[in-house]
Structure 1
């Protein structure tokens, strides 16, 4: 009885294509949290959503057999995740710089109280 070895083309010898989905989701969530503190990170939410969309396309294209499309989606997801990470870093830095110029946490809380009083005065 002779066994015929499988052909090399039947094995998936290509390296796996990373989808960067976890990274995209995490930086988008962190941008949302920073956006709740300081609204400077709104662009980070938009770029994070774009990164998530490209990340979700990777596995779908791989399942369809479109390896080139999956690699392109992976590259786009990585680029947009880096852009979102940049917005996150800039937002955190801007928040701490503005916090320092407002007089620390006490100055920040005083400013929040002023804003609350202004909102109540307009009602």
Structure 2
């Protein structure tokens, strides 16, 4: 990717809101990594490190999506275990009423 960046452009998106929401609702560890990268975007931009700001922005977005994927995977695994546990209980007659 050959991106031309200069100081007159706006800073790249820091994805901080996305990272915070992904941390709260999905994966804590991966979300914290996303928040750390998101917090670096504006400081790199104001220091004149434009490539580092773009890199931190991309990393924040990537880790926020990884956090969302981890949250979805955890929810699917939990749901499958609950369903299989209920089915196993039904098969053994644990829910006789």
Task: Indicate whether 1:24 and 2:19 are aligned.
Answer: yes
Larger radius of gyration: 1
Distance 1:91 1:23 in 2: 19
Aligned length: 82
* Residue of structure 1 in register with 2:44 after alignment: 61
* Residue of structure 1 in register with 2:33 after alignment: 50
Q: Which structure has more helix as a fraction of its residues?
A: 1
Distance 1:102 1:27 in 2: 29
Gaps of 5+ in 1: 1-10, 32-43, 108-123
TM-score with structure 2 setting the length:
0.74
Gaps of 5+ in 2: 1-6, 91-97
| Structure 1 runs of 4+ with >4 Å offset | none
Whether the 8 Å contact between 2:11 and 2:42 is mirrored in structure 1 is no
Please, what is the CA RMSD of the aligned residues?
2.0
TM-score with structure 1 setting the length:
0.60
